[in-house]
Amino acid sequence: MNGYTGKLLRISLTEGSSREEPIREDWIPDYVGGVGMGYRYLIEEVSPGIDPLGPDNKLLLMTGPFTGTVIPTSSRLVVITKSPVNNTVLLSHTGGSIAGEMKFAGYDGIILEGKAKKPVYVYVKDDEIEIRDAGHLWGKDVLQTQQAIRKELGDERIKVIGIGPAGENLVKFACLTTDSYHAAGRGGPGAVMGSKNVKAVAVRGTGGVQVKEMPGLLAYLKAIMAEQVLNDDHEWTWTDGTPMLVDVSQGACLLPTRNFQQGQFEEAEKINTDQAVAQGSKNRIACLACPLSCGRYYVKRDGVVTERAQYETVALGGSNCAIGDLDAVADFSSLCNRLGMDTISAGASVGFAMGMTEKGVRDFGVRFGDASAYLRVAEDIAYRRGVGDELAEGVKAVAEKYGAADMAVEIKGLEFPGYDPRGSFGMALAYATSSRGACHQRAFVIEHEAFGDMDPFTFEGKAEQVIKGQNFTSVKESLLLCDFWRTSRRVYSKLLEVVTDYSFSYDDLVLAGERIWNLGRLFNVREGYRRKEDCLPARMYEELGGGPDTEERITPEAYDASLSEYYRLRGWDEEGVPTLGKLDELGLTEFADIVKEAKA
């Protein structure tokens, strides 16, 4: 096949066996790749109500038709599973080079099923598959694991994606880490891998990815490089990287600070892009096939070199914990990466613990601005030591235990990322309607609001904007292209034409995006999700200290009206269940039973 390898690798951990099977080519025209295909496999193969941390859950590592090619930003991997945080359909992306390596080994996807009797890791060397003992790796951090695997297999070019102690200990926000510091971070995919007694998947591929028209593809990419890739829209990745958002969020008064009590951090200039660039080393780092290169090494004051923390880490592990020291944030980032924890939820959880301690609700032994205690608590979470064991369950569970829901800033149990919606109302709707819980990546509507031209302090027009974003993202993530390459569905359509044997018009891609989004919703509806879960945490209705200069507030009435508008524009009923008419329109009628049961 062209673009796709046409093969899927299925690993039965319970039986200790593996088998190769053709991918469902009949699904490609409707679901494109990565996320779409992964959703379809998951909803077909995982029964409703199963325990996400039990053997019946599956862990899918999926690539897209462009993965492994020289198309800009094309080496993203998506991990799809049932979320251990909240039973929703979980999608979690990472960069690095593991996705490309999977394609070179010959696979569009790898599905891990069942549960191994004892710790193992999976080694994929082209079509030779081994399930190897990982007893000696259990307990090691992510870096040590990667090094040990490469050493024992005698190949420095092996790519590894795996868990650290956090995943082994089933921390609810354990991630999968690859290439030292790239993470499929959100929603706890590391806990799912850990629950299966899998330490890592190691991949080495020596094959190639075929495309339909190689000279045509190379010529097209060179033709669009200046206008579509290396243009002004993308300059920030090269000059600053994501830390540039610190000043932008601070300026818009929505930088999460002190567990979302404030929108500005008085020490922001100590953790902003100027500081990051000043302490940056000369060497940029990029994912496979990425000319944008948003990563950079960072030199701490003591001379130690580490990967520079990305914006989300700086926001949640910096300002939200009132840590005005980029070196401390870099340490936090490295610690989380090594131990295998999502820096967003880890930062949010520690910030929440600081807030609980300061308010006297529960003493977690850590206060705002205490950089040494904060690193200790983060480590305790990964190892589930002391208070860390409580915090490892995420802020929602801890808040419920202590009756402190007013302090928990989460949706569906997933902690907020780095943009306080009180400074950009559309983000409230984007977070609340995101399938996996509070997440900025599915519809980054803030780029049109606080960071763009739309009025950020109203819900007017936001439902439509959120839907457009979600549908567009669903296609982009099925192609497994990075959020940072801002281009159009027309470019996607042209690329698909020269890479694959399929033809996707602009309109096909618009419809595919909506179809994929609806399939994700159907998974969640089947798990019992309705309107009442698409709600905001109490703190969003409180005044934001140091917030934007406006009288406008998010009110329950205004939010509710916006949610209703969102459901109506989506063709869903008032409970957020897709209508049979919508299913028919999208070619999803085989899932009509989910809708009928939801209404029964």
Partner 1 sequence: MMKLVIDESLCTGCRCCELACSGRRVNEFAPARARVRIRSSREKHGSFISVCVQCAEEGCVAACSQGAIARDPADGIVKIDYDLCTECMACVDACPYDAMSVDVVTGLPIKCDLCGGDPECVQFCRPQALTFILSQD
- Amino acid of residue 410: E
Separation CA 49–CA 521 (nearest Å): 15
Closest contact distance (angstroms) between CB of 286 and partner 1 is 4
- SS3 (DSSP) at 174: strand
Residue placing its CB nearer to partner 1 in the complex, 179 or 420: 179
- Give contact residues for partner 1 (rule: CB under 8 A): 68-70, 97, 104, 143, 156-157, 180, 205-211, 214, 217-218, 221-222, 230, 281-291, 293, 295, 297, 305
> Residue 272's Cα: distance from chain center in Å?
23
Q: Please, which residue, 70 or 561, has the CB nearer to partner 1?
A: 70
114: closest CA among 34, 12, 46, 35? 12
State the minimum distance, in angstroms, from the CB of residue 95 to partner 1: 11
Q: With respect to partner 1, which residue has the nearer C-beta, 259 or 334?
A: 334
Q: Tell me the closest approach of the beta carbon of residue 148 to partner 1, in angstroms.
A: 15
Nearer to partner 1, 206 or 372 (CB): 206
Q: How far is the CB of 54 from partner 1 (least distance, A)?
A: 35
CB of 123: closest distance to partner 1 in angstroms? 17
Nearest distance from C-beta of residue 444 to partner 1, angstroms: 24
What secondary structure, in 3-state letters, does 29-63 show? Answer: HHHCCHHHHHHHHHHHHCCCCCCCCCCCCCEEEEC
* Cβ nearer to partner 1, comparing 21 with 155: 155
Residue in this structure with the two tokens 């860390």, named with its chain if needed: 388
Least distance in Å: CB of 211 to partner 1? 7
Residue 110 · residue 102 · CB < 8 Å: yes
Distance from C-alpha of 387 to C-alpha of 376, rounded to nearest angstrom = 11
The residue among 161 and 381 lying less far from partner 1, judged by its C-beta, is 161
Q: How far is the CB of 9 from partner 1 (least distance, A)?
A: 19
Q: Which residues contact 277 (CB under 8 A, 6 or more apart)?
A: 239, 240, 243
Residue among 34 and 205 whose Cβ is closer to partner 1: 205
Q: Toward partner 1, which CB reaches closer, 3 or 513?
A: 3
Between the CA of residue 114 and those of 10, 58, 62, 124, 193, what are the distances in Å? 11, 7, 18, 18, 10
Closest CA to 5 of 77, 123, 104, 124: 104
**DSSP bridge pairs for 174:** 341
Query: In sequence order, what E strands does 269-352 have?
Result: 280-285, 295-299, 305-307
